[in-house]
């Protein structure tokens, strides 16, 4: 078990599959840092052609702060003690500044599914960071994605609520983020 572990993602509506990844990483370390990529799509926009989701507002409807709060709520829901995790910006699309945001002595856990995942792993390794692949899966094993959940919200399909933790559903509804998502597609 590592002392410090780090995972990262956009978390533009946290899915149950992403929660599975978070919990798998947390089981491997005492303290988990959860990095939010594309904390700001203007200043930290995608720079790789493989990073196709870090560009538009439709793909990134939630602010950094909203994702931060959503993640705080989900960690509470899953009974993970506050002292056992931190939430940080993780500008993976700008590796030249990434080391200024992250703990250098951690183990960086990855789930490999897409070519962009492989590219992110390569970025971390080129920075000299210790990495560990939790699992490598085929795209057919990914489950319902955040993109698909946002599409369900767009079409007012309430089944989206079945694919997110309860605290995420409540956060999206209580903060009217589902309405914002629908407006992005008008």
pLDDT tens column, 44-94:
778 888 887 777 888 899 999 999 999 999 999 999 999 999 999 999 999
Contact 38, 10 (CB under 8 A): yes
Separation of alpha carbons 183 and 186, rounded Å: 5
Q: Which residue spans within 43-129 are E strands per DSSP? A: 85-89, 107-112
Contact 102, 33 (CB under 8 A): yes
Separation of alpha carbons 47 and 133, rounded Å: 23
Least confident span in 1-10, 46-55, 93-102 = 46-55
Separation of alpha carbons 42 and 174, rounded Å: 26
Separation of alpha carbons 33 and 26, rounded Å: 9
What's the confidence (pLDDT) of residue 41? 79
Q: Quick check: 107 pLDDT over 90?
A: yes
Token pair listed for 162:
């079945």
Of residues 99 and 53, the one with the higher pLDDT is 99
Q: Quick check: 11 pLDDT over 80?
A: yes
What's the confidence (pLDDT) of residue 164? 98
Domain extent for 124: 2-184
Q: Give the helix/strand (H/E) hosting 134.
A: strand 130-136
Q: Domains in the chain: how many in total?
A: 1
Quick: pLDDT tens for 27-45: 999 999 999 999 887 777 7
Separation of alpha carbons 136 and 143, rounded Å: 14
Quick: pLDDT tens for 121-171: 999 999 999 999 999 998 888 889 999 999 999 999 999 999 999 999 999
Contact 53, 180 (CB under 8 A): no
Q: Quick check: 10 pLDDT over 90?
A: yes
State whether the Cα torsion 89-83-23-123 is positive or negative.
positive
């Amino acid at each position: 078990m590592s002392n410090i572990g780090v995972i990262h993602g956009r978390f533009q509506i946290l899915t149950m599959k992403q929660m599975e990844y978070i919990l798998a990483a947390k089981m491997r370390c005492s303290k988990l840092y959860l990095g939010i990529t594309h904390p700001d799509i203007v200043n930290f926009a995608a720079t790789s052609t493989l990073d196709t989701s870090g560009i538009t507002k439709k793909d990134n409807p939630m602010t950094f702060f909203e994702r931060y709060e959503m993640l705080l709520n989900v960690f509470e829901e899953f009974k993970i003690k506050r002292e056992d995790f931190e939430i940080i910006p993780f500008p993976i699309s700008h590796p030249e500044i990434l080391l200024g945001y992250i703990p250098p002595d951690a183990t960086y856990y990855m789930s490999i599914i897409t070519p962009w995942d492989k590219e992110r792993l390569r970025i971390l390794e080129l920075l000299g960071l210790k990495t560990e692949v939790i699992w490598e899966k085929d795209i057919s094993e990914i489950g319902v994605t955040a993109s698909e959940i946002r599409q369900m919200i767009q079409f007012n399909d309430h089944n989206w609520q079945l694919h997110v933790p309860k605290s995420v559903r409540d956060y999206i509804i209580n903060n009217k983020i589902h309405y914002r998502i629908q407006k992005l597609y008008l």
